[in-house]
Structure formats: structure tokens, C-alpha cells
Structure 1
Amino acid sequence: MTHCDLHDHDFLHNSEHGERQVLMVLGLTLVTMVLEIGAGLIFNSMALTADGWHMGTHAAAFGITIFAYRYARKHAKNPRFSFGTGKVSVLGGFASAVALGVVAILMAVESIHRIIEPQDIRFNEAIAVAVIGLVVNLASAFLLKGEHHHHHGHDHAHSDDEDHNLKAAYFHVLADAVTSIAAIAALIFGRIFGWAVLDPVMGIVGSLVITKWAVGLMKETSGILLDGSVDPAVCEKIQQTVEDEKSLKVIDLHVWAVAPGHHAVILSVDSSNGWTPPQVKALLSGIGHLVHVNVEVHRV
């Protein structure tokens, strides 16, 4: 489908605000991810390897965010995209979730193997690398939190324009910090008390965390890709808003996501009082995130 007008479908307004900060955090995350996974393999620590792969899940999310920023900005007015490029990040997120689900399975299998056949762990070196990972996570959270608060403070009245990509990235690095703390605790207890089994157990825990994140992302993104996952309350609000006018009756309503948090609407109504499509459309102007509304009016 090709749309033939120049309707604005830019769903990432002012994306330059957060893109630079996310790019910096992506660089830090990638370097630390490689360090932790490499060190985990060298020092035989599944907890460290799991923490590294968990950072990898969020590195993928950051990469998708940056790609979505740039691709959507480049093609915002491209008429080849009927409803804009809002689903670019959704498609990337689904693909990443599938790949990370496979990684989680491999991690769990290897961790179980190491429970059955324990290996010597170089605790001191593994702990040092895990601490570096925690420091990087905290530094990344500081960068993203500072940027998020900066923009929120300058545009408090427009909460609908909040950079949700930046906010999501902030919570991603906080989750990384928690898993880093868990990995450090497992390694320390393993070193002090000789509980080496805690290390592969943390590997299993890490694989479960990644699996939960991947499955949640697959559910969220697949719904949008299939034009589903619209809160019924959105449809109910549209219908109620229109039918508050006693001379209007909704006879057909389709609502679907064209980007996260942005919905397109096709609406058919019966009118007994000469309503026009622009007048009906104006009734919906107070409902946020309706970015493409088509209205058909039937006279009765």
C-alpha cells in the first residue's frame, strides 16, 4: 500500500535529544558485554557470562532504538510508507527477542552441564570484572537519567511527547545493575564459603531473566506487527466520545497501532443530523495518539 499525500507520520519528534546519550551508553554496554562474556569463558564463571549476555539483551535494545531514531527521521515524509515508519523498531525488537531467546536456552543448558560437572572458577578475576560491569551500569544510568530529567523539566506540560525510548533505556541499565549485583554476590559467596554451585545457578537465573524479557518483548511486538494489542479502553473511549452526540451511532470501528503508543482509526457512523466527516473527526481531537483518522458518515 502506498499513500499519496504528505501527511506527517513522524513518530519520533526531537529524537536528537536522546539519541546521543543512548549511543554513548550503547558503546559502554557493548565494551562491557564483550569483557564480561570473554572473562566468564576464561575464568569459568557462568554468573559473569550470564551478566554479560544480559547486558547484550539491552545492547540490542539500544541498537534498535538508535536505528529507529535514524530510520524514522530519514523516512518520516517518504510516501512509500502508508502509515509511517513507526513499526521499524517493533520489527527489530521482535527479531532481537527471538535471537535472545535462543541465547537464553544455550546458557541454561551450559549452566546445568556445569552443575553436573563442576569446573574450577577463578573467583578473584571474575569478581573484578563483575564490579567493572556494575560501575558501567551505574554510569550509564546516570547519563540517561540526567538527559531524561533535562528534557522533562523543559517540557513538563507536554508529557505525551516524553521520549519513551530514553526512559526504556534508563530502566534497561537499572536492570543490568541488579543482575551485576547478583553475579557479584554469587561469586563472593562462592569464593568465601566454597559454594561454587552458586555460579552456574546464577547462570540459570540469568537465562530465565533473559527468557522473560525476550518472551515479553515478543508478545508486545507481535501484537503491534499484527495490528493488534490495542487496549479495549481506547476503542471504548472513541465510541463513547462519538456517541455522546445523540445523533451519531458508531456502526464500524477499527483501531490499530502504527507505532508504539500511536493509533490509526477507521470509523463509520450513522448520522441523523447532517454531520460531516471533518466534524466527527474533530470530536476525537482530544484523544491523544490518534495520528491517522479516517471517518465515513452515513446519513439516516
Structure 2
Amino acid sequence: MKSKITGQRFLAVTLLNVLITVVEIIGGLLSGSLALLSDAFHNMGDSFSIILGYVAQQLGGKSENRKQTYGYRRAEILSALTNSLLLLVIAIFLIGEAIQRLGHPEHINGRLMLVVAVVGLLANFASAALLHSGSHDSLNVKATYLHVLSDALSSVAVIIGGIILSFVNIPWLDPLLTIGVAIYIGLEALPIISQTIKILMQSSPDLDYDNITADLKGVAGVNDVHHVHAWMIDENHIIFSAHLNCDDLRLSEVEGIYSQVEQILREKYHICHITIQAEYGRGRDENLFNTPVDKQHMINDKDNDK
């Protein structure tokens, strides 16, 4: 079951991020640490992302209606995409700033940098704990959770840098840490961007269509399957439609076939919304994905000629 993160938890995480942001901006300015300032701006972006994630979750929970017959679940996918793109933009910005700092290194107050980074790490761990329960079931919450985790990693990197700079003056260490954290942030964002775009483009979910075909043809009265469409509303809800070539049956008998087909698709393949159209002879020249057999042969012949 998909777990929901409560508004109180989102509020607590937002307040923690605002607190971290203020502390790190002050600490970064006083210590001269770009890594600390970059982490502060990262946290500022996180505050926006957490609020957006909560609004999207509330909107996604609204019931279906005449204007949105599939409901509002895509709001969470849009939020996840927005948050992940924001992470990527932040990563690119941080890398640019760090490269400039490499050319003009500054003295860093390592001890102050260390103290502020420890405060940030503790607050980020608290935020991550609040969001952890929903991060496995929702791309929206996962994107927000990754924001917080990337902040925690940033704090770890800054702590390591602070410890070193407390004893040794290495001007290039601070921007180098910033680049490392930024690369990590970008790499964490890319898979979510890819998955959300696939969902928004209505790409097919990962289903075993050969086994589905065999299972449906195994239902008494079903002779063939064609015109299959499958897509996702969000990462947890698969929509499936298909045409079935059946024996010449009465409507009451076809309804029995529908019940068996729906049971197979729901229980074995975890499909939540199923639309089936029964036919007798119509569509026999179509394959599983609605390409007429003779046209498919023409496509294959052209491919073989290349």
C-alpha cells in the first residue's frame, strides 16, 4: 500500500530546511566556504521542493471527476519531475561556481565551517527520517527525500573538508568538494527525470506481454488477443486495454470471460484499471499492438533489405 506523508511531517521538514539555510548562509559568509554557501542554496531550493511535494500529494489524492476521469495522480509525477530538474540545475550551478573558485581560491575558516556543517548534517538526518517511510512508494516523495539525502551528503563532505582545513590550508579543497557533491546530486536526479518523462509520455510499463497473451488465451472462449495498450498514471497505477477474439458467445457468457481476464491481470500483473473489448472475427489481421499482419510483413521486409 502506498504510504502518505502527513502535512505535519512536510511542515517539520520545511522548517528544518529553512533553519539549515539561515545557519549555513551566515556560516558560509563568515567562514568564506563556497561548499557551505552552495549547501545553503541547495537547502533553500529544498524548502521550495518540499512545499511543492506536499501540495502535489494533496492534489494527487483528489477523487476522479468529469474534468479528470483518471484523477489527479499525475500532479505528483509533475512535482517529481520539477524537483529533479531543480536538483540538476542546482548541480550545474554549483559546478560552475566551484570552477570559478578554483581559479581564485580563498582562505577558509575550517573550524567554523565544521561546526555549521555538523548542525546541517543533524538537521538533514532528522528530515530524512521524517520522509523515509514514503520514499519507496512515491516518486514525488522520493524526489523530495533525495533532496534531503543529497543535503546530508553535502554536509558530510563539508565536515570532512572542515576537519582537514582546520589543520592544513588547502585552497582548492573547498571547491573540489563542491564539485563532487554537485556531481552526486545530478546523478541522483537523472533516474527520476527519466522515469517521470516515461510516465508522462505514456511509455509502456514493464510487463511480460508474451505471458499476458498466453494467460488470456488460456481462458476458455478466448482465441486471440490484439490491440493492446498499456500505460501508467503514476509509478503505482497501470492502465491496460485489449481486444479479445472470442467464440460466438452470448453477452452473459462474455461477461464471465471478462471477470476471469480481469482477475488474471489484477492478481498476477498488478494492473489496476482494465478495459476489455470482445470481438468475434474483427481484428484477426492485427498483431498484439494493433499493426495489421500484412503491414508488419512489409515493415520486416524493408528492414531486411537494409
Q: Same fold (TM over 0.5)?
A: yes
Q: What is the aligned partner in structure 2 of residue 23 from structure 1?
A: 11
Q: What is the aligned partner in structure 1 of residue 280 from structure 2?
A: 299
RMSD: 3.0
Q: What is the aligned partner in structure 1 of residue 218 from structure 2?
A: 244
**CA drift at 1:291:** 2.5
CA shift in 2, pair 1:13/1:180, >3 Å? closer
Q: What is the aligned partner in structure 2 of residue 4 from structure 1?
A: none
Taking the aligned partners of 1:166 and 1:100, their CA distance within structure 2 comes to 14
Q: What is the aligned partner in structure 2 of residue 258 from structure 1?
A: 233
Q: 1:93 aligns with which of 44, 63, 80?
A: 80
Q: Which has the higher contact order (CA 8 A, sep 6+)?
A: 1
**Are 1:51 and 2:39 an aligned pair?**
yes
Q: What is the aligned partner in structure 1 of residue 60 from structure 2?
A: 72
Taking the aligned partners of 1:191 and 1:264, their CA distance within structure 2 comes to 57
Q: Which has the larger radius of gyration?
A: 2
Q: What is the aligned partner in structure 1 of residue 299 from structure 2?
A: none
Taking the aligned partners of 1:59 and 1:228, their CA distance within structure 2 comes to 31
Decide whether the 8 Å contact of 1:112 with 1:200 is kept in 2. yes
Q: What is the aligned partner in structure 2 of residue 270 from structure 1?
A: 245
**Are 1:137 and 2:124 an aligned pair?**
yes
Taking the aligned partners of 1:232 and 1:102, their CA distance within structure 2 comes to 33
Taking the aligned partners of 2:3 and 2:89, their CA distance within structure 1 comes to 35
Q: What is the aligned partner in structure 2 of residue 230 from structure 1?
A: 205
How many pairs were matched up?
273
Q: What is the aligned partner in structure 2 of residue 210 from structure 1?
A: 185
Q: For residues 46-73 of structure 1, what are the alpha-carbon distances to aligned partners after superposition, in whole Å with 9 as ceiling and x for unaligned?
A: 2213333444565454333311221123
Taking the aligned partners of 2:49 and 2:237, their CA distance within structure 1 comes to 20
Taking the aligned partners of 1:254 and 1:107, their CA distance within structure 2 comes to 43
SS at match of 1:201: helix
Taking the aligned partners of 1:102 and 1:206, their CA distance within structure 2 comes to 13
Decide whether the 8 Å contact of 1:241 with 1:284 is kept in 2. no
CA shift in 2, pair 1:204/1:168, >3 Å? closer
CA shift in 2, pair 1:40/1:238, >3 Å? farther
Where does structure 2 lack aligned partners over 5 or more consecutive residues? 282-306
CA shift in 2, pair 1:34/1:227, >3 Å? farther
Taking the aligned partners of 1:254 and 1:46, their CA distance within structure 2 comes to 51
CA shift in 2, pair 1:13/1:245, >3 Å? same
CA shift in 2, pair 1:239/1:115, >3 Å? same
Q: What is the aligned partner in structure 2 of residue 183 from structure 1?
A: 158
